[in-house]
Amino acid sequence: MINSDIKICLVTEQSTFVEKIIVDCIKNIQLINIGRAQKKLSLMKPHIIIFNDIAISKILSFRKNNFNPRFIIIYKHFPSNVSELTLCQISSLIDQLSFTKELFFLELNRVIKELETIQKSFVVQLNSNYGWQVQDRVLYNESYNKIDLSKNEAHLMEIFICNANKILNIYSIIDQLETEDNKLSIKSFRNLISKLRNKIPQGCIQSIYGEGYRFKMQVSRNNLSLNDFHMLTTLLLPLSTINTIFEAFCNTIFNLYEPDRSFVMYCDFETNQIIVPVETSTHEYPGAAKLGIKIPITPTQLEFFNTITSLSEPIILSKNDMKDLKKEDPKTWDKMQVPHSALVYYFKVKNIIWMAGLHQCSHQRYWVQEEVIFLKHCVKILQEKMQQL
C-alpha cells in the first residue's frame, strides 16, 4: 500500500480490474471519470495524474486550460473483458505490456519520493500553492514545478522573505542587492520588482507610497497541533444536540484560525436553499446565520456541488472563484460580503450535502498546507459525531 500526502488522481473512462489494482494499492487516491475530470482536477490541483492510454487525448486539453501537473504517468489499458480473466491470466497479460505492474509502481514510488523530498524541504510557504526552498533559493509552484528566477530575483526573494510583513526602504533593498559587479539604478530595480511580481502570487509585493515595499505573507500556523485536535474531540464528545455540536465546532476553529467567519451549512434541495444553522463571526463580517439569510441554490452552485462532493480534501476558493455566484444572486451576496478567500470542506451525512469551513472577508488570505490538513481532520471529527446522532 502506497501511503503519502501527495495528491494523486486516476482519470479513467470505466472502472476495470486495472483501476481496482491501482486504487487498492494507493491510499487516498481519487478516482475521476474522464467526462468530469477537467473541473475536478482544476479544483483539486493534484500533484500526480495517472491516465490510461484511452484517456491520453485529454492531456492536451488540460494543458490548454493552464492545468499542468508535475507528472503524468500512463499505463497500458487492458481489454474490456479483463474482469473476467483469472489472476494468473492477468499477471501474464501485465508481463506482456510495455509498462508492467511492477514497473508502474516502481515509477510511481520514485515520483512520490521526489515530490515528498521537495515538500519536506520547504521552510517557507508563500501560500498553499507556492513554496520557497531556503537552502537552494528555489521557488516551486502548486505542482512542485520549479519557477525560474534570475540571480537578482532569487536574492530579492530572499530579502523579502527574511523581512516578511515589514516595510523596506527602496535604498536599503538596493544596498543589499548590489555588489561591485552588479550596480542597480532605481529604474532597473523597479523593473526587477515588476518581473518578480509576475512570477509569484498576486498581492505578495505591496508598494507603500512614500516608504518602499512590503512582502505580505500569511504566517504559517505551525501552532495547530494534536492538542487542539484532542481539545475539539473532548468538546464534542459529551454534546447530544446538533446545534450545540455546531456551535462548539465553529467556536473552536474560529479561535484556532482567527478568520472573519467560521460556519456549518447544508443544502436543502426541497426548498432549493443553502441553510446556515450556525456560524461564528467578527462583528464587522456577519454571515447568513446572523443576518437570517437563506441562500438560494443557483444553477452555478448546483453544478459546483455535483463536481466537488466526491472530493476528499478541503478546497480553497478565491473571490474570483465566487464571482459567478454573485452575478446570479447579487442581493444575497452583497448583504453577506463575498469573502476574499475561503477554505471549505464538503461532506455527506445521511445523503445531505454539508459544508464546513472558514471565510476571510477583510483581505486575501493564503491558506498554508498545515491549515488545510488540520481543517480536514477537524471536520472528520464533526462528521463522525453527526453520524452518531
- The whole-number pLDDT of residue 207 equals 92
Is residue 112 predicted with pLDDT exceeding 60? yes
What are the tens digits of pLDDT across the range 278-324? 999 998 899 888 888 888 888 877 777 777 766 778 888 877 777 76
Is residue 145 predicted with pLDDT exceeding 70? yes
- The whole-number pLDDT of residue 18 equals 66
Q: What is the mean pLDDT of residues 34-57?
A: 70
- The whole-number pLDDT of residue 89 equals 43
Domains of the chain: 8-121 (3.40.50), 131-215 (1.10.10.10), 226-388 (3.30.450.40)
274 against 93, higher pLDDT: 274
Our measurement of the distance from residue 289's CA atom to the centroid of its chain's CA atoms, rounded to an integer in Å, reads 26
- The whole-number pLDDT of residue 10 equals 82
What are the tens digits of pLDDT across the range 56-110? 555 555 554 445 566 556 665 544 443 433 434 434 443 444 445 666 777 777 7
What are the tens digits of pLDDT across the range 337-376? 778 789 999 988 888 889 999 998 887 777 777 788 888 8
What are the tens digits of pLDDT across the range 184-216? 889 999 999 999 999 988 888 999 988 899 988
- The whole-number pLDDT of residue 37 equals 73
- The whole-number pLDDT of residue 92 equals 43
Share above pLDDT 70 across residues of the chain, in percent, rounded to a whole number? 72
pTM given for the model: 0.52
Is residue 121 predicted with pLDDT exceeding 60? no
- Per the prediction, the chain carries an average pLDDT of 76
Q: What is the mean pLDDT of residues 4-27?
A: 73
Rounded Cα distance between 242 and 142, Å, is: 37
**Sorting pLDDT into bands at 50, 70 and 90, what band is 135?**
low
